[in-house]
Amino acid sequence: MSLSLSGERPDPPADAADGAWLACIECGATYAPFEEIRYTCDSCDGLLEVRYEDNPALEDFGDEGDQRGVWRYADALPVESGVSIDEGDTPLYEVPTIEEEVGVADLRIKHEGMNPTGSFKDRGMTLGVRVAEKLGVNRLACASTGNTSAALACYGARAGTEVLVLLPEGKVAAGKVAQASLHGARILEVDGNFDACLDIVSDLADRGEAYLLNSLNPFRLEGQKTIGLEILEQFRDQTGDFPDRIVLPVGNAGNTAALYKAFRELVAAGSLDPEEVPALTGVQAEGAAPMVEAIEEGNDEVRRWEEVETRATAIRIGNPVNAPKALPGIRETGGTAVAVSDEKITDAQRALARDGVGVEPASAASVAGLRKLRESGDIDADEQVTCLTTGHLLKDPDAAAAAGADPEPVPADTEGVLDLLE
Ligand code: F0G
């Protein structure tokens, strides 16, 4: 079963709930969405995705008038409402200096760092934690490079459910650990990288110890799909067109998969022609680039990197679990993938800050990737581009302080300050 842009539309299974069900992307097996806990296919272990009998058109969103952010798109989601603290509806910024320097027709930044907990993860959690309530689970868990744990801790607290997070010791930015801690999650520091944390938490979930809210969970990606819907609407409002390309940082490739799914559903609804679908362009750090390797080598499978390292700790991931959904997304939309150095990531973080957009390092990878692909000629000067920035500057205060200028000590009098300003 291929994840193509204009795939055939099978009939809904008899156990669909309100026109939604789960389907295996490999063998096509279908499951009722809310009856049992399941993360992958029973028969072939393939990834699952939510499918719908009807896909709403872009024009249909917002006509009920009373729902905002992620829940403005409720008709494209498998439940009507979430455990919500007003996630989504993030700004799409102009960045004139970078646009001019990079040399593209239009450049906008979709700043997901402006979500309630400071990253796009909130979009998935509002939905995922509501589904957990429907399933009646009593412990939520995730492995995380930081942002997922912050969001899960917050939404779990809101829902009054116990939260367990597994973090790679010493490799999670300070703001994120602080959030998980204050929102009351139980934090386990694992002597291993993110991929090892995810192996363990997946095991715990399979043994029924906790409900898994990593992006392997298909409901999370439904919430994240709304990033793609918002980008299309906002870009068209601002420029009159849809963007030709969306450049985004890639870790587990959940967003790449989710955006592609949003566009496939809009094609099915007749809102987008397949040629209008933005080219999904993934960016990884050089020290953690298994998706880039697979795209460059034309492989159908991604080789797990055991050793990964980058200053952009959010995307310090060697085994992108959503690759089977994301690789077709990159290929079918005419996109590509590129790796950037930590130095270029920091340069891009500074450039964004100069245009007034404060992001964490992983987010800046998108702009670093755009720069690199413009230099190589893979992105044309006449393209209209959106870069996704996934997390807020304050998530990683140490990286921000290291990239910025140092404070200067002065004596406590005006003359002393004036002397220094001379
Ligand atoms: N950017 C930020 C700031 C992230 O936190 C993540 C993932 C990504 C990009 C990559 O997104 O996985 O959809 O390709 N962070 C996860 C976490 C892994 O645990 O917070 P992806």
| Residue 87 backbone phi and psi in degrees, to 5 | -85, 155
Residue 346 scores a pLDDT above 60: yes
Best substitution site from 90, 123, 145, 367 to test ligand 1's pocket, by max atoms within 8 Å of Cβ?
145
Q: How far, in Å, from the CA of 314 to the mean position of ligand 1?
A: 5
Note the pLDDT tens digit of each residue in 156-194.
Answer: 999 999 999 999 999 999 999 999 999 999 999 999 999
pLDDT at 1: 42
Q: Name the burial class of residue 223, with classes exposed (0-12), middle (13-18) and buried (19+) by CB atoms within 10 angstroms of its CB.
A: buried
Q: Which residue, chain included where needed, has tokens 């934690």?
A: 129
Best substitution site from 390, 392, 394 to test ligand 1's pocket, by max atoms within 8 Å of Cβ?
390
Residue pair 252/147 in contact (Cβ under 8 Å)? The answer is: no
Note the pLDDT tens digit of each residue in 36-64.
Answer: 999 999 999 999 999 999 999 999 998 87
Atom of ligand 1 nearest to the CA of 249: 9
Q: How far, in Å, from the CA of 92 to the mean position of ligand 1?
A: 19
Q: How far, in Å, from the CA of 193 to the mean position of ligand 1?
A: 14
**Stretch 238-267: mean pLDDT:** 98
C-alpha 290/C-alpha 285 separation (Å) is 10
Sheet containing strand 30-31, strands side by side: 30-31, 20-24, 48-52
Extract the runs of DSSP E, i.e. beta strands, from 116-256.
139-143, 162-168, 186-190, 211-212, 245-249
363 lines ligand 1 (CB under 6 A): yes
Q: How far, in Å, from the CA of 362 to the mean position of ligand 1?
A: 8
Q: How far apart are the first and last CA of the chain?
A: 69
The first and second tokens of residue 336, run together, are 């590509």
In eight-state DSSP terms, residue 320 is -
Residue 130 scores a pLDDT above 70: yes
Q: Which domains does the chain have, with CATH numbers?
A: 92-116+221-403 (3.40.50.1100), 121-218 (3.40.50.1100)
Sheet containing strand 106-111, strands side by side: 92-94, 106-111, 384-389, 245-249, 279-285, 336-340
pLDDT at 63: 80
Q: How far, in Å, from the CA of 254 to the mean position of ligand 1?
A: 8
- Distance set, CA 276 to CA 103, 229, 372, 387, 404 (Å): 22, 14, 24, 17, 39
Report residue 2's pLDDT band, with 50, 70 and 90 as the boundaries.
Answer: low
